[in-house]
Structure 1
């Protein structure tokens, strides 16, 4: 009975945890702003702009997607065209035409089959533009009703009507919603202007909308305004009794309803014909810091698509970083010039040949060249980076300061004149090479300037709440995963066991931490490289995969070394390699992506895993640089993917330039998730020694924690770490180091889902200044130091905040974070825990997973206790505001009871 009651409370808590915005969002452009769309339960789009995988993405999040369908007009002239609509250069259709009716119905059936949830029916009033003397409008009305009846059958009444007021009584049971434009403002397509609606027209339209409501239609108003005016107008619409959407006249920028979007996307143009994204400096170096600040690097490959309309509701800025003069084509320059003043810009490295753009960002070309040598004259103190000395100045950019600009860096010429190298204005900033990253032989690279202040103080990106991929329940995440290399190596221990047996018995079993383990199929399969020992090797693999704390991954069939060649990004001559393109598998000469990915997943699932388990991850091998084809195959196989990246920073060179971003997009919602931190290979000289070198991983942990937590704890290694005592000792050293510090152990798949969702989470603000956060997988927001501490009592969908106020914990769906302290924060809340929380409600259901004995710290919880669904209670120890709880490892299902606190 207690368990049933707990389940009922759990369902009610989950329902309460997902507030829904009643407005329908409209967007008629591409690509879809998927992250921002998660604030809405219904969206209307142009169907040709949505891909199959985007429709699946919406379905996974229970977002209903309505396709735009024009009923009364077409942009193509045909036999059923009656006349033109000069406002939109379109043709008004004959609604009585059987051919037109059949075409609309066929279109609806196709849209239904594609996966759309409903239709938005536009141009319902177009027939009213027809000449009364030439056309029978009553017949047109009858044709319109007939069309809508047919469409209603196809989509089971899931239709949204655009006006059609005179026919509403006839359409009452055929559609659910009605939308009308222009209650307080309207758009004139002839001159692209916004006009206020007259009071008489407002009164007439309001009456029509109220009538529609009385007939049972949900009513929404679409009005038009510039971004900074939209929230006020939306509130005015809502005050009139209707849902609201305020956007631009073409519905091609992201709009506002009860909330205003917080733009997170930083547009980064690049040209894959000149250099693939995976090798570009802006991705390898700067993207890490863009993501840390909470922003999404939005890469635009100008070789494959047009530069987008810059939308200040979605886009926070533009970063243009290239070392190639050929990058700046006229189209790129025109786009950058046209975007001045819309969002802040940062131009880095090579400069475009645009006097207008450069002057706007603070520099102008000198008319004469001052003589060298040159030396640093000034570098803004707040911009100084990691490098202890100035880079070599051999061929500087010869620039002077533009009017109304501020110098950030300048150098002095031999004649005493100054030459500007970096400047800022209200439009953004410019900084030229070599004042970015200084690369020294044998010493790695260093930032000459501070990349974070470059983005914030110089460029002008605002401080925002940052969706976080490093922290769970207030503590730094711990992930562990093993590549299959060395599984069959004979270890230097008594009895000559396989290295896989040593890792199983000395690491995996004793620690019982969540770990992701993989195999290379050709290494252990019958008929493979070690065919004679396959039976025993497969048995060892099964014994690892059957452990309850091990999740299953593939490390490919033959361990390809050069995915960059397989993707066509770089040609590699087999003769120039030390070990060919892959392991020397008998009879396997040509790499098959299907065999490497799908084939090995099927092999593992059919032969190696116990009932109830399956392969969940693909761990890339070799250079770990898969292209789109490999990522598609992995997605089609239903697995996540991890590995690659270059986070190998250590104490010899503790530079932010050696820390990779979270992931790399490859189009069509494909992402390669990088390993947060690299494996023992880079610490042991490619396993040539010293074999204890992996102990230096703790240096990486410390550098990626302070001053900025950039990565979770990640212990990533190969089975060959079990070959020698020094390698095994290094593993234990690293695990013990983490366990002595606050951490939350999670599966690598858990991290991979969070990492990918970074690019699909969204922020918004309401009229009170509260922040709203929408995410399917991310549960943590990092609060910048210049923010106040969150008030949990005044927030919704928030579990708590750390004592330092730097991380706030949320639930799945939409959370509202308040920083209003007009009322005291006295309700119990979570400060931190070493568990992954599924459900959390004060005086309600709580469920979580604890891989090790659970420790939870709560604030304002001296009267609280955890009660399991079996009735066992756990009280805490209170010191000051903090109450510390200890619970057993495992799954906890139960309640958090706090006496004297309302639900």
Structure 2
């Protein structure tokens, strides 16, 4: 009986939660280049269809609505010229559109076939119907009003009859709703609390009498017809505080808010508020011939990624973006190493727009221009003068002098005083003052040489002067929010192993002189049975390659490797390009020791041959039935252009390699930790390898050949105190050719096996990086919503946030570790995280060494599935009255401690059931 009551209470709680969240979060975005990833935080999104050739891809959580005007037509609409002039007797003086006579008998059919059907054919399935009241400008007598209303009703019914599965969202239409409310999914109206007046182009509060009338109109919509009601209000883009206050007042009335600008071209505030993750990063292409080699990609991107942010690189030599910034960008970071007089006006315009829209700005190295008046408006006094005396430090924040002490010099002393904000570094020379690092109300700045500096006596070794995480958090005014994480899953550090195919024909320096490929297969891949991603170079292994006399043996070894159940098949191209952009004609390379690629007989370079062609060779000759190439591992300089990266996506392959994570105790700077990757243009994202291969540790394979054991230092330094990277054992086949390198490789594997990890394939890691780039986080009244995460399964919670597992959805567990508070997501689509004083009584997953492929909570426990590449180990938090079973057989815990209950199975995949009695 008690158990039944318990279940009933839990069911009632879940029903209550479902009711509380039943109102859809709604957004309206009419601007060009809508941020679709971010808009997926909402349940219903209204877009301007003329900005699309086809509707956005269908989403499990988000319904896309096409804006459609029912009562008016603008001249720019494709169908405007088809509407007979007799149907357009007047214009709307406020907006200029032609008003459509709803009483025309042929209008309903025209509306459906000429306006709705073309949208349906382009993939739109739901429609926001605007201007439902415009007929009032045509009708002055009761008879005219009745005729217009009857015509409008016929039009709406014709639409729903033709497309019954379409959701229809009405804008007002109060007069006809008694007849057609059954056709509507919801009703919207404008200006309940805050309005925009186009006549005088001013924002103002809605008069109480207007508000009272609107509330009276929507009363039957809420109380009788139980439809969602959306209030669209308008505030300036830069006043986010007012937008939140207006949205809160609307919510308090039981309505769904959308508070934005009158143009509806920003991500406003609704039932949820998107927490922007994209950062506009300004760089100067005249300084960097190759963005990959810039300070922005080499240094800045890593701390941005760690903070959960996605950099979007913008070249200041090109026209700067004119789109609305508010809600779309977490901030702008400008890193210019000199003044650009020809671009100063555009830069200042962009910076001014950021300030007006409330988007923080962080300046690194130089502002890009010298304008004392502009600086004064931002609370910085600039004066003329040179340092005539020694420069001394008068104030130094704890975040300055992080890896390299600030060394002030007379020749880079520029008098300037921060009057509004907090100086993080202050210098003085005589009576002159300089504040070269500061946090301001609009963001912050750190001027050279107090950003990144060279080590004394070393022109290549760089170190951070500012602590970049602390500076960026302060300057970009980042809110506390869940941070997407690609290093950890289910509370364990990720571990991937991938092998470039170079050296398959090399002979090993061991008795019998087997090929390096054979030694790699026998002594490493078969011995260490964790997921491996292994590649070959077709030009090395095939009968048409450089070692045709060894092809039979090499292909036999390749087949044996790819047949192993824990091996994922990859390609390392056909001719192993050494300089990709030189081969595609985008850059010039002089003095190449090895040429541009392997010199294969009668071969003319082709991107398709390198990528899809090499994959076809492996699939047809080497891979076993049921396995196909999943990954293209970049070769040589690993710097393809955007079209080449696009070829991997076109071929259905993931891509990885490049990046320079080479931090060691000899060179312990964060500047040696690479980012997640680089968009080479058009969304063609190149994923960087988390760590570098043995070449870096062996001086380009010149020795010492045992050098790869130092990658263990890299693993340790990218784990504590901050976990920047997963463990990535990345090497070439030729590492299995020398005694010293073989022993070093064994040391590296043994280290990884000694750690608490979750092993996975390279493709799975790549998918998590893609998920990182696209995931959206939004603030809710009770916590956060995480959506569109794809394969990403981990977010780091703010230290003060405790998840309530009973009230949350789409989460399986969490684990507090020194590096952070890691939350385990259980869905690839959506998670609603509710924070509370404690986690609640529901069981949850603490940690596991396998992927969680199912998690189904129920009143008396949870069903879940673990799928890993190694024997399973995991820990749960549950009461002692819970029993875990597999296929009906109880599983005995290994141990029970305050940290959780530990379990272990020999299987690598298991369906599990945790049942708890009252």
- TM-score normalised to the size of structure 2? 0.87
Q: Secondary structure at the match of 1:700?
A: helix
Cα shift at 1:126? 2.4
Q: Say whether the 8 Å CA contact 2:656–2:766 is kept in structure 1.
A: yes
Question: Cα gap change, 1:429/1:881 in structure 2, threshold over 3 Å: closer, same or farther?
Answer: closer
CA shift digits 1:172-199 (9 cap, x unpaired): 5655443222344433234443444444
2:333 to 319, 325, 343: 319
Are 1:377 and 2:379 counterparts?
A: no
Q: Say whether the 8 Å CA contact 1:662–1:674 is kept in structure 2.
A: yes
Q: Secondary structure at the match of 1:128?
A: helix
Question: Cα gap change, 1:458/1:547 in structure 2, threshold over 3 Å: closer, same or farther?
Answer: same
Are 1:608 and 2:622 counterparts?
A: yes
Q: Which residue of 1 aligns with 2:64?
A: 65
Give the Cα separation in 1 of the matches to 2:22 and 2:612: 39
Give the Cα separation in 2 of the matches to 1:136 and 1:825: 61
Q: How does 1:546-625 map to 2 (within 5 A)?
A: 546-565=563-582, 571-573=587-589, 576-589=591-604, 591-625=605-639
Give the Cα separation in 2 of the matches to 1:273 and 1:667: 18
Q: Which residue of 2 aligns with 1:159?
A: 168
Cα shift at 1:170? 5.8
Question: Cα gap change, 1:384/1:198 in structure 2, threshold over 3 Å: closer, same or farther?
Answer: closer
CA shift digits 1:59-102 (9 cap, x unpaired): 25453322222333343275645443332343435564979975
Q: Secondary structure at the match of 1:867?
A: strand
Are 1:429 and 2:448 counterparts?
A: no
Are 1:181 and 2:179 counterparts?
A: no
Give the Cα separation in 2 of the matches to 1:561 and 1:130: 72
- Which range moves more in the overlay, 636-645 or 674-683? 636-645
Give the Cα separation in 2 of the matches to 1:791 and 1:151: 44
Are 1:486 and 2:503 counterparts?
A: yes
Give the Cα separation in 2 of the matches to 1:809 and 1:536: 45
Q: Which residue of 2 aligns with 1:249?
A: 262
Give the Cα separation in 2 of the matches to 1:290 and 1:426: 20
Give the Cα separation in 2 of the matches to 1:814 and 1:156: 24
Q: Which residue of 2 aligns with 1:467?
A: 484
Q: Which residue of 2 aligns with 1:90?
A: 97
CA shift digits 1:856-896 (9 cap, x unpaired): 22334444342112535233411234322222231011202
Give the Cα separation in 2 of the matches to 1:169 and 1:791: 42
Are 1:740 and 2:748 counterparts?
A: no
Q: Say whether the 8 Å CA contact 2:101–2:138 is kept in structure 1.
A: no
- Which range moves more in the overlay, 328-337 or 185-194? 185-194
Q: Which residue of 2 aligns with 1:9?
A: none
CA shift digits 1:543-578 (9 cap, x unpaired): 22221111122222222222344566x5214x5211
Question: Cα gap change, 1:860/1:315 in structure 2, threshold over 3 Å: closer, same or farther?
Answer: same
Cα shift at 1:235? 4.8
Q: Which residue of 2 aligns with 1:524?
A: 541
CA shift digits 1:299-353 (9 cap, x unpaired): 3345566424554434332211111422743122112023226133211112233
Q: Secondary structure at the match of 2:355?
A: coil
Are 1:223 and 2:237 counterparts?
A: no
Cα shift at 1:104? 7.1
Q: Which residue of 2 aligns with 1:10?
A: none
Cα shift at 1:519? 1.8
Give the Cα separation in 1 of the matches to 2:475 and 2:250: 38
Question: Cα gap change, 1:872/1:613 in structure 2, threshold over 3 Å: closer, same or farther?
Answer: farther
Q: How does 1:693-842 map to 2 (within 5 A)?
A: 693-768=707-782, 770-774=783-787, 775-785=789-799, 787=800, 789-792=802-805, 795-804=808-817, 806-812=821-827, 813-821=829-837, 825-841=840-856
Question: Cα gap change, 1:827/1:844 in structure 2, threshold over 3 Å: closer, same or farther?
Answer: closer
Give the Cα separation in 1 of the matches to 2:697 and 2:408: 30
Give the Cα separation in 1 of the matches to 2:570 and 2:105: 58
Question: Cα gap change, 1:106/1:667 in structure 2, threshold over 3 Å: closer, same or farther?
Answer: farther
Cα shift at 1:792? 4.4
1:31 to 27, 30, 33: 33
Question: Cα gap change, 1:102/1:685 in structure 2, threshold over 3 Å: closer, same or farther?
Answer: farther
Question: Cα gap change, 1:654/1:844 in structure 2, threshold over 3 Å: closer, same or farther?
Answer: same
Are 1:333 and 2:333 counterparts?
A: no
Q: Secondary structure at the match of 1:453?
A: helix
Q: Say whether the 8 Å CA contact 1:71–1:104 is kept in structure 2.
A: no
Give the Cα separation in 2 of the matches to 1:868 and 1:501: 39
Give the Cα separation in 2 of the matches to 1:320 and 1:125: 47
Q: Which residue of 2 aligns with 1:871?
A: 889
CA shift digits 1:397-424 (9 cap, x unpaired): 51220433433224444x5633332233
2:138 to 111, 130, 141: 130
- Which range moves more in the overlay, 615-624 or 169-178? 169-178
Q: Say whether the 8 Å CA contact 1:94–1:100 is kept in structure 2.
A: no
> What RMSD, in angstroms, separates the aligned Cα atoms of the two structures?
3.3
Q: Which residue of 1 aligns with 2:869?
A: 851
Q: Which residue of 1 aligns with 2:702?
A: 688
Question: Cα gap change, 1:132/1:817 in structure 2, threshold over 3 Å: closer, same or farther?
Answer: closer
Q: Say whether the 8 Å CA contact 1:792–1:798 is kept in structure 2.
A: yes
Are 1:292 and 2:306 counterparts?
A: yes
Question: Cα gap change, 1:166/1:853 in structure 2, threshold over 3 Å: closer, same or farther?
Answer: same
Give the Cα separation in 2 of the matches to 1:235 and 1:406: 32
1:263 to 235, 257, 276: 276
Q: Which residue of 1 aligns with 2:453?
A: 438
Q: Secondary structure at the match of 2:448?
A: coil
Cα shift at 1:465? 2.8
Q: Secondary structure at the match of 2:740?
A: helix
Question: Cα gap change, 1:195/1:439 in structure 2, threshold over 3 Å: closer, same or farther?
Answer: same
Q: Which residue of 1 aligns with 2:417?
A: 401
Q: Which residue of 1 aligns with 2:473?
A: 456
Cα shift at 1:360? 5.0
Q: Say whether the 8 Å CA contact 1:270–1:302 is kept in structure 2.
A: yes
Question: Cα gap change, 1:155/1:324 in structure 2, threshold over 3 Å: closer, same or farther?
Answer: farther
Q: Secondary structure at the match of 1:875?
A: coil
Q: Which residue of 1 aligns with 2:512?
A: 495
Q: Which residue of 2 aligns with 1:6?
A: none
Q: Which residue of 2 aligns with 1:635?
A: 649
Cα shift at 1:105? 3.5
- Which range moves more in the overlay, 804-813 or 446-455? 804-813
- Which range moves more in the overlay, 256-265 or 462-471? 256-265
Give the Cα separation in 1 of the matches to 2:373 and 2:291: 28
How many residues are paired up?
A: 875
Cα shift at 1:795? 4.1
Unaligned runs of 5+ in 2: 1-13
Question: Cα gap change, 1:303/1:757 in structure 2, threshold over 3 Å: closer, same or farther?
Answer: farther
Q: Secondary structure at the match of 2:351?
A: helix
Give the Cα separation in 2 of the matches to 1:108 and 1:488: 63
Q: Secondary structure at the match of 1:325?
A: coil
Q: Say whether the 8 Å CA contact 1:393–1:434 is kept in structure 2.
A: no
Q: Secondary structure at the match of 2:618?
A: helix
Q: Secondary structure at the match of 1:806?
A: strand
Q: Secondary structure at the match of 1:395?
A: helix
Cα shift at 1:146? 5.7
Q: Say whether the 8 Å CA contact 1:385–1:451 is kept in structure 2.
A: no
1:506 to 503, 513, 523: 523
Are 1:40 and 2:48 counterparts?
A: no
